[in-house]
Amino acid sequence: MKIPLFKVNMPKNISVDEILHSGFIGQGQYVDDFEIKFANHFNLEIDKVVSVNSCTSAIQLALELENISQGDDIVTTPYTCLATNTDIIRRGANIVWYDVDKITGLSRLENIEKVITRNTKVIIITHISGAITEDLEKILAFCHQKGIKVIEDAAQSLGAKLNNEYININSDYIAFSFQAIKHLTTIDGGILYCGDYEKANEGKLLRWFGFDRVISSDFRCAQDVKRLGMKIHMTDINAFIGIESLKTVDDIINAHIKNAKLYEQLLPIVDGITISHKIKSGSSFWVYPILVEKNRDGLKKYLEENGVYSSLVQNRLDGMTCFKSAFKLLPNLSYFMRRILHIPCGWWVSEEEVSYIVGIVREYIDKGCFS
């Protein structure tokens, strides 16, 4: 038996042939349609949705829209994908790490408050493994009162809800990912949701050199560019795949949550394992995070020997050479990193396989491998 941690979910029996040979494969009608359908599906305002070619680009665009440059402090999490934080350094701004919650790995207001500086312009939080921090509302209120913007990295959390809502009405920026192994894939792709209409309009210009693709047919030649843009737009091919994937995205998200519910019933009988994200958190459970009290790497190996793939998913970024100037002691993160392990809970995992995985974990502990 082989149970992967990730799997690509491509819509079946679709053909991109017509688009490929239509003479127009860049950003066109399918991209517009995908933005509308995505917005409708997840209760977003369509005029605030800016599609791009990845979540990495969405985060870069948000930093650009906030004019982040040398001397600015960006308060951010070290337990996230490299993509969340690289552009901060590239822009010459400073990274200020905050410590994470020691059980969930998520962002907490009390940790953010401790490290805020006079030069803080933006705070970044990541909805790790599919869960939105329960402090989101409080973090947004705290930051807005200080004139600080919040970027939510939602790359792993499509379909997650907090207080039964997909997004908070006070959110400034939310960056989504449609990379290969996400709940919804367009092969690669992303959306930047902007809380402010003007920022969204500016984002639409900046994603394609700074040109307005709507107001004139000969946009390359007829327009002056006021602000230098990027080239990070989505293409019609990716958007078409996204439109097709949206038809089944609820089934996919629900399958992840159903497996997580089963883990939550079965795992508490296993001593030495702590459930990191509970169902009540509203997580969409991209992966299922557990904390392993002792010898986590031994359990990871034992799972693999029995055909089950597990992973830390991301290592702490504060240990990397490229971020060394931002060094800080982060005791909660150290506690979390010694224990965290993600096990498979995706749409491809059956109920029997969840029981099998729990059985393997239990067997490992019963054998005394913990000590």
Ligand X SMILES: Cc1ncc(COP(=O)(O)O)c(C=O)c1O
Residues that bind ligand X (CB under 6 A): 54-56, 80-81, 83-84, 126, 153, 155-156, 177, 179, 190
CB-CB contact of 90 with 66 (8 Å): no
Report which of 130, 135, 78, 106 is spatially closest to residue 288, judged by C-alpha positions.
130
User: Least distance to ligand X from the beta carbon of 299, Å?
Assistant: 23
Supply the minimum distance, in Å, between the C-beta of residue 273 and ligand X.
24
Nearer to ligand X, 192 or 308 (CB): 192
Q: Which is nearer to ligand X, 76 or 94 (CB)?
A: 76
Find the farthest-apart pair of alpha carbons in the chain and give their distance in angstroms, rounded. Answer: 73
Distance of closest approach, residue 231 Cβ to ligand X, in angstroms: 15
Q: In this complex, which beta carbon is closest to ligand X, that of residue 57 or of residue 211?
A: 57
What is the closest distance, in whole angstroms, from the C-beta atom of residue 158 to ligand X in the complex? 11
Which CB sits closer to ligand X, 131 or 303?
131
> Could you tell me which residues are beta bridge partners of residue 123?
75, 150
Find out whether 230 and 206 touch, Cβ atoms under 8 Å: yes
Which phi and psi (to 5°) does residue 238 adopt?
Answer: -65, -40
Tokens of residue 278, six digits: 């509970």
Q: How far is the CB of 176 from ligand X (least distance, A)?
A: 8
The DSSP H or E segment spanning 97 is: strand 94-97
Q: What is the C-alpha to C-alpha distance for residues 285 and 313, in angstroms, rounded to an integer?
A: 13
Angle at 4 between CA 278 and CA 84, to 5 degrees: 60
CB of 362 to ligand X, least distance (A): 30
Question: Between β-strands 94-97 and 73-76, what pairing exists: parallel, antiparallel or unpaired?
Answer: parallel
Residue 359: CB partners within 8 Å, gap ≥ 6? Answer: none
- Residue closer to ligand X by CB (options 276, 302) is 276
Select 81 or 255, whichever has its Cβ closest to ligand X: 81
* Residue 369 C-beta: closest distance to ligand X, Å: 30
**Closer of 55 and 167 to ligand X (Cβ):** 55
Q: What letters, b where the CB count within 10 A reaches 16 and e where it falls short, cover 35-66?
A: bebbbeebebeeebbbbbbbbbbbbbbbbbbb
Minimum separation from the CB atom of position 295 to ligand X (A): 26
Of 184 and 365, which CB lies nearer to ligand X in the complex structure?
A: 184
Distance of alpha carbon 180 from alpha carbon 234, whole angstroms: 15
